[in-house]
Amino acid sequence: MPAMSSHAIACSDHECLISLGSNIEPEQHYVKALAILERECELIANSKVIHTSPVGYQLQPDFLNAALLVRTSFSYADFRAYLKAVEDRLGRIRGPIKSGPRTMDLDIVAWDGEVVDEAYYQYDYVRGPADEVLASSGRTLKPKKNS
């Protein structure tokens, strides 16, 4: 990851790599999510959209997946809560099936260049778009620290 400027450090800005997924009116919800995040954060880069088959629960439509790299002044915990609020604003209903249909799923994959979600290593639908964003923005990732 390129060195941050002294201004960025003074402002406590953080870079967040986000995995995005939707399979309920996905094109519409992707456009809305992108607009919200572009308006409320600093969008650095975004991947092309890919379409993937569901993982886990199979009786649902295919997913639209993408990745975004944004800059925020929120802390990790606050930004995670913010993303859940964005999901809610986009009509996300959390049902009994964790891998079931959703209007929008926004997950933090990496925080300040460090992988924080094992899904990056486990799923091509996360890693492919994330790697595209990293390549286009000149960033690299450090492995997740052992807890």
What pLDDT is attached to residue 30? 97
Would you call 105 a catalytic residue per the annotation? yes
Would you call 107 a catalytic residue per the annotation? yes
25-42 confidence digits (pLDDT tens): 999 999 999 999 999 999
Question: Which domains are seen in the chain, by residue range?
Answer: 12-93+101-137 (3.30.70.560)
CA atoms of 43 and 16, how far apart (whole Å): 10
- Residues ≥6 apart with Cβ < 8 Å to 107: 18, 19, 21, 83, 117, 119, 126
Catalytic residue among 39, 89, 92, 124: 92
Catalytic residue among 62, 78, 102, 117: 102
Would you call 131 a catalytic residue per the annotation? no
What is the chain's mean pLDDT, rounded?
Answer: 89
CA atoms of 11 and 55, how far apart (whole Å): 39
Would you call 89 a catalytic residue per the annotation? no
Catalytic residue among 62, 71, 80, 107: 107
Catalytic residue among 105, 112, 127, 131: 105
7-24 confidence digits (pLDDT tens): 333 446 999 999 999 999
Contact 77, 87 (CB under 8 A): no
Angle in degrees, CA 50, 71, 103, rounded to 5: 40
**DSSP summary character for residue 60:** S
Q: What residues in the chain have per-residue pLDDT under 50?
A: 1-11
Whether this model's pTM surpasses 0.85: yes
What pLDDT is attached to residue 128? 98
